[in-house]
Structure 1
Amino acid sequence: MRLKITLVIVVLAMSFSNAQMRKWTLQECVEYAVENNLSIEQFELDLENAKIDKSDALGAFLPSLNGDSRLTASTGLSFNPTTQEPVNTTILNFTGNLTSAITLFDGLRNVHQFNRAKLNAIANQYRLDDLKDDIRLNVANAYLQVLSNKEQLKTFEAQYAVTEQDLKRTRELVESGVLPRGDLLEIEATAANQEQQIINGEGLVLISRVSLAQLLQITDYENFDIADEEFGIPPSDILKNSAKVIFDKALTFRNDIRFSETSVELAEKDLQIAKGANYPTVGAFFNYNTRYSDQNFGPDGSLIPFTEQLYVFDGISYGASLNVPIFNGWSTRNSVRRSKINLEQAKLQLEQDKLALETNIQQAYVDVTTFFKAYEAALKTMDARRLAYDYAKERYDVGLMNAFDFSQAQARVDNAEADVIRTKYDYIFRLKILEFYFGIPIALN
Structure 2
Amino acid sequence: MNLLKPLAIFTFVFLFYQNISAQQRVWTLRECIDFAMDNNVSIKQGNLGLEATKIVSQQAKLSYIPDGGIQSGYQLSMGRSLDPTTYNFIENTYVNSTNISANIGTTIFDGFRKYYTVKRSLSEIKVSEIEVEVLKNNISLSITRFYYNILLNKEVIASIENQINISNASIAKMSRLVEEGAAPDEQLQNLLMQQQNEIYSLTESKGMLQASIVDLCSLLNIDNTDGFDIIQDDDTDMYLENSIENIINSAMTLPQIEVVNQKLLSAKYAIKIAKSDLYPSLSFNSSYSSSYSSTRRQVAFDENGTPIIVDGAIAYKNYPFINQIYDNRTAIFGFNLNIPILSAFHVKKKIQLSRNNFKQLQYEVQNVEKNVKDEVRKLYIDVQTAKEKYSTSMAAVDHGTKIVSYAENKLNNGLTTITDYIIAKNNILISEAQLSRAKYEYLLKLKILKFYYTQCIY
Instruction: Return the TM-score normalized by structure 1.
Output: 0.89
User: What code does the residue aligned with 1:62 have?
Assistant: I
Q: Pick one of 87, 95, 103 that aligns with 1:91.
A: 95
1:191-233 CA distances to partner (integer Å, 9 max, x unpaired)? 1221212121222222222222333343334x25223x23587
Match of 1:219, SS state, is coil
Find the residue that maps to 1:348 and give its secondary structure. helix
Q: Which runs of 5+ in 2 are unaligned?
A: 1-19, 301-315
Q: Which aligned pairs between 1:109-188 and structure 2 lie closer than 5 A?
A: 109-188=113-192
Give the distance between the partners of 1:265 and 1:440, measured in 2 at CA. 24
User: 3-state DSSP class of the match of 1:326?
Assistant: coil
State the AA in 2 paired with 1:259. Answer: V
2:189 and 2:123 map into 1 onto residues whose CA distance is 74
Q: What residue is the counterpart of 2:7 in the other structure?
A: none
SS of 1:76's equivalent in the other structure is coil
Q: Distance in 2 between matches of 1:429 and 1:232?
A: 13
What amino acid sits opposite 2:389 in the alignment?
A: A
The change in CA–CA distance for 1:93 and 1:267 in structure 2 (over 3 A counts) is: same
Counterpart position of 1:23? 25
- Alignment of 1:365 onto 2:380: yes
* 1:381 equivalent in structure 2: 396
Rounded to whole Å, the distance in 2 between the matches of 1:302 and 1:236 is: 103
The reply to whether residue 46 of structure 1 matches residue 61 of structure 2 is: no
Structure 1 equivalent of residue 61 of structure 2: 58
Deviation at 1:80, TM superposition (A): 4.6
The Cα shift of 1:427 comes to 1.0
**Letter matched to residue 276 of structure 1:** S
Please say if residues 85 and 291 of structure 2, whose CA atoms lie closer than 8 Å, have aligned partners that are also in contact. no
Cα pair 1:82 1:295 within 8 Å, conserved: no
The answer to whether the 8 Å contact 1:233/1:424 transfers is no
Bigger shift: 431-440 or 110-119?
A: 431-440
Whether the 8 Å contact between 2:271 and 2:354 is mirrored in structure 1 is yes
* RMSD between superposed Cα atoms in Å: 2.2
Contact 1:92 1:293 (8 Å CA) reproduced = yes
- Most deviating of 291-300 and 375-384: 291-300
Q: Partners in 2 of 1:279 and 1:20 — Cα distance?
A: 61
**Residue pairs, 1:388-407, within 5 angstroms:** 388-407=403-422
Q: 2:248 maps to which residue?
A: 247
In the TM superposition, what is the alpha-carbon distance from 1:390 to its structure 2 partner? 2.1
Give me the whole-angstrom Cα distance separating, in 2, the residues matched to 1:178 and 1:315. 123
Aligned residues: 422
Q: 1:395 to 1:232 in 2, by over 3 A?
A: farther
Alignment CA distance shift 1:185-1:311 (3 Å): same
Question: What SS does the corresponding residue of 2:65 show, helix, strand or coil?
Answer: coil
Identify if the C-alpha distance between structure 1 residues 264 and 233 changes in structure 2 by more than 3 Å, giving closer, same or farther. closer
C-alpha contact (below 8 Å) 1:81/1:295 kept by paired residues: no
Task: Identify the residue that residue 293 of structure 1 maps to in structure 2.
Answer: 293
Q: Which amino acid aligns with 1:54?
A: S
CA distances 1:298-326 after superposition (whole Å, capped 9, x unpaired)? 34343233223222221211122110000
Q: 1:203 maps to which residue? A: 207
Separation in 2, partners of 1:412, 1:100: 87
Which digits, 9 at most, give the CA deviation of each residue in 1:334-387, with x for residues without a partner? Answer: 101100111111111111111111111111111111111111111111111112
Q: Does residue 332 of structure 2 align to residue 317 of structure 1?
A: yes
Which residue does the alignment assign to 1:424? 439
Aligned-pair identity in percent equals: 26
Deviation at 1:268, TM superposition (A): 0.8
What's the CA shift string for 1:409-430, capped at 9, x where partnerless? Answer: 2222211111111111111111
Asked whether the 8 Å contact 1:74–1:91 carries over to 2, the reply is yes
* CA shift in 2, pair 1:35/1:142, >3 Å: same
1:72 is the counterpart of 2:72: no
Query: In 2, Cα distance between the equivalents of 1:69 and 1:21?
Result: 63
Shift of 1:248: 1.5
Structure 1 gap ranges (5+): 1-17
Indicate the larger mover: 263-272 or 29-38: 29-38
Q: Any conservation in 1 of the 2:85–2:292 contact (CA below 8 Å)?
A: no
2:80 touches 2:89 (CA, 8 Å); kept in 1?
yes
Q: Which range is displaced more, 100-109 or 22-31? A: 22-31
**Cα drift, residue 279 of structure 1:** 0.4
- Match for 2:273: what amino acid? I
CA distance 1:82–1:416, change in 2 (3 Å): closer
TM-score norm. by structure 2 comes to 0.86
Contact kept, 8 Å, 2:278 with 2:344, in 1: the verdict is: no
1:250-265 alignment to 2 at 5 Å? 250-252=251-253, 254-265=254-265
Determine the structure 1 residue equivalent to 2:306. Answer: none
2:228 paired with 1:213: no
Contact 1:213 1:224 in 2 (8 A): no
What are the Cα deviations for residues 29-82 of structure 1, in whole angstroms up to 9, with x where unaligned? 323333333332332222122111101110111111122222222223345555
